Each structure stands twice: as C-alpha cells, then as structure tokens.
Structure 1
C-alpha cells in the first residue's frame, strides 16, 4: 500500500511523499503531540539511514529536510527511501497502538481509498 501511494502520481514522487507525511503528521500530532510525532519519525529515520545514510535524520517542521535529502537522489531511490521510512514508522506505531487504531489513523490521514486497497495488487 505504501509503495503504491508513494509512487502516485509518478510525475511528482517528492510531492506524493511529503503529502503522505503531512497527512500523517496532522493526524498523529493531534493525538500524541508534535514531540511524540518527531520522536517516532526520528526513530524511523534512524532505522532507514542504516541502508540510506544520505536520508535526513529529521523531517523539519514542513518536511523540507526530508524533501531536500530525497531530491538529491534519483526518483527510484527517493521513492524507495520514502516507502522504507513510512514502513518503519507505521510498523513501529502498530506495535505501540495496534493495527486497528493505526488503520483508522491512516484512513483519516490518507483517505478511505488508500486504506481500503491495502494488500491488493494493482491490476495492469
């Protein structure tokens, strides 16, 4: 699901990535505060940087640091890094709050369509 969302629209993968993070931040910051969100993001960035050391260690308030580090890579590497970062983040959150609540947060952040198609492969 995350890889499909990051790749949509294909013409603007950085915009898609940042939009996903902004939606997630808006939903979670209301629940756990900006500091809680930043802590989870920084932990996810730490894990993602093990294989992508060029990735920004923090997002910045408007995700400009994330955008800048992704913009220095080719589209495929940037998309893979964004996907990995989101997967680390959501996996960590699922361990903390459970899959059902995480699904509700993702639905609020990314829309029903994004979550309802989770696990379904796109048809060619």
Structure 2
C-alpha cells in the first residue's frame, strides 16, 4: 500500500512517468512537500537530517550520484534532480520510490503508522490518495 501511495504522489506531480526529467521533478517536489510537513513536527534541521539519512540508507540499492551530506540542502536537491533526470524512466522511478519509501518507512518506525499516514495525506494530498480510506492504509 505504501508503495502505491508513493507512486501516486510522484505520478501526480510528474504528470508523465515516461520522462525521467519529469519523474525527477515529481520526486523532488514530493520530497520537498514531505520535508515541509515533517519540519512542522520535528523542526527543519531534524527533517533535513531524516531526508539525508534516507538517501544514505538507499545508497547500496540506488547508487546515488549525489554528494553525501548530513542534511538536505538546496544543492543536494538539485543534484538529486540531475541524478534522477539522467536515468532511464524505470531507473528514475525505482530510485525515487526507493528514497521516499525509505523515508516514510523510517517515519513509521519513529512516529507510528497513523501519524505518518496523516503526514503523507497532508503533504501529498492528491485526488487518488484522498480516495483511499483509513482502513486501506492500516
């Protein structure tokens, strides 16, 4: 289910999941929105550190060409966008989903699934996501 939510968030913002540049835009936009929502809960520095940690956790699966950093920054987001945009559409979608899945999975372990779900709903409210019932998410 979480995989579907993440894919919907990316697709909603990308518009076309056959173009790696648009996929990259969708992933970065989704990450920005989740970071903003998370910042309200734990503060901007902690949110940036959690996002950066998700990139670190997925390095072996994705082999990011993004410089390592202790926290998410604008330069890191630009590098992430360039990295994803240089991949095939399938690779870009896989890498973006892997990153967002790692972040949301980590959030679930820290704050629980119900609060994480509410945070995703608030950050990524898309028509398809709004139609998912609370029972479907649990």
TM-score, length-normalised on structure 1? 0.83
Distance in 1 (CA, whole Å) between partners of 2:54 and 2:40 is: 19
Could you tell me which residue of structure 1 aligns to residue 124 of structure 2? 110
Distance in 1 (CA, whole Å) between partners of 2:100 and 2:119 is: 14
Deviation beyond 4 Å, 4+ runs, structure 1? none
Q: Is the 8 A contact 2:23 2:84 kept in 1?
A: no
Distance in 1 (CA, whole Å) between partners of 2:51 and 2:115 is: 18
Could you tell me which residue of structure 2 aligns to residue 53 of structure 1? 63
Select which of 72, 85, 96 maps to 1:82.
96
Question: How large is the Cα RMSD of the aligned pairs?
Answer: 2.2
Distance in 2 (CA, whole Å) between partners of 1:116 and 1:96 is: 26
Q: Once structures 1 and 2 are overlaid, which stretch shifts more, 50-59 or 82-91?
A: 50-59
Shift of 1:20: 0.7
Select which of 2, 23, 29 maps to 2:33.
23
Q: Is the 8 A contact 1:60 1:66 kept in 2?
A: no
Greater share of helix residues, 1 or 2? 2
Cα 1:55–1:34 change in 2 (3 A) is farther
- SS of the aligned residue for 1:7 comes to helix
**What 5-or-longer segments of structure 2 have no aligned partner?**
none
1:4 aligned to 2:4? no
Shift of 1:37: 1.1
